[in-house]
Structure 1
């Protein structure tokens, strides 16, 4: 589904990504792992056209995305749950969902079924929600675009354990429904349980790719690149 081949990205004259190769298959949950500052968010920005690659190719279902403006990449079927949530604070929960809605299987009612507490706060301004509720809303808002690929960038960062578990329950349900997902997160135990494929990035390069069983079995690898 999503394929990055030899992607190189820069901030001004400073190169940040060096030949990134990454894949997410149809219906697959994949991860991009690494310590802070290694290029995870820049990779996401490259996919979305926010930091356009100077070299390499990015394709979704064979359609080239590199070189397209961000709005066309979003329309091609990529939904983002950004780090830091970035909900529309002065709009209600319902208005946040309606703002990004596109025709397809995801509706307001389906999002409320996934996150019942959002239904209870449908008329409440998003800026008054708790951090966990805002994260649920950010996920729901991305789903309302009916994406072929959903990217979650640090979706559980700073959340209470019970809320984190609710987010992981949501990811598990989406996976069971066949949603392709690219996850960036530091909760390795949850990712090993949920993901089919892992990519580890170090200083702008993919240094390892493999399955959950391989990553779980290699303690030295996890300690070297992830610090766990």
Structure 2
């Protein structure tokens, strides 16, 4: 791939909390239209990586480039304005706003797409949200809240969608609905970075996988390579 296709590039990223270092030279690359996973056991630095990319946590060293521009340690709203949409761990929807108010609160068409994400489009993606449009965020089930969090990120019309724990705590039926939606987004050319513990659907969805152990990448490859490497799956993922 040419360098022109690189959407997100993370190199030599170091970060931590107080005197405790968490990331030790993290690296990651996502090309335009590519779906990539960040995998690993709990506490290995996945969420810290996402927070450092999004400017929610200050990185100590290293590079974070988006569309060739340095975004390391930009305020999170500036990172979003550049075209990165985040579905955070825990969803973090606005509990006292209705579904529709959640969706329009941060909506923007910054990319000037020919087919931008609008209320009607996200309601087509998740019809249940249209049924619950007047309900407050705290009146939704966990699955509905995750659909809302994904739709809220899409309403910013991002070039890259990041999901931290995409299906954690959801029922199998809702999980399948989320995976189906992500497959559709990928088919439409949306670049996606996803963290999740459910390996089987990720192997079907993603182009490339990065496994993190103690704050650094210890394995990377495509789905065929990960499927064919039971030692890596067992050692780093317990799968």
Structure 2: distance between partners of 1:68 and 1:156: 28
1:167-213 deviations in Å (ceiling 9; x for gaps): 00000000001000000000000000000000000000100110000
2:8 is aligned with 1:2: yes
Once the two structures are TM-superposed, the CA of residue 67 in structure 1 deviates from its matched residue by: 3.1
- Is 1:196–2:202 an aligned residue pair? no
Given that 2:13 and 2:26 are in contact with CA atoms closer than 8 Å, whether structure 1 keeps it comes out as yes
Pair 1:134-2:145 in alignment: yes
Distance 1:66 1:120 in 2: 39
Q: What is the CA-CA distance between 1:53 and the residue it aligns to?
A: 1.2
Contact map agreement 2:57 2:73 (CA 8 A) in 1? no
Deviation, 1:110, is: 0.4
What is the total number of aligned residue pairs between the two structures?
228
Query: Match for residue 168 of structure 1?
Result: 179
Give the structure 1 partner of residue 59 of structure 2: 53
Distance in 1, matches of 2:151 and 2:82, equals 18
Alignment of 1:28-67 (within 5 A): 28-67=34-73
Secondary structure of the corresponding residue to residue 184 of structure 2: helix
Task: Report whether the alignment pairs 1:19 with 2:25.
Answer: yes
Give the distance between the partners of 1:218 and 1:183, measured in 2 at CA: 20
User: Could you list the runs of 5+ residues in structure 2 that have no partner in the other structure?
Assistant: 1-6
Match of 2:4 in 1: none
Question: Is 1:89 aligned with 2:95?
Answer: yes
2:125 to 104, 110, 114: 114
Distance 2:83 2:211 in 1: 24
| More off after superposition, 172-181 vs 46-55 | 46-55
Separation of aligned partners in 1, 2:74 and 2:231: 40
Q: How far has the Cα of 1:100 moved from its partner?
A: 1.2
TM-score (norm 2): 0.94
Matched residue SS, 1:95:
helix
Structure 1 segments of 4 or more deviating over 6 A? Answer: none
Match runs of 1:137-148 below 5 Å: 137-148=148-159
Instruction: For structure 1, list consecutive stretches of 5 or more residues without a partner in the other structure.
Output: none
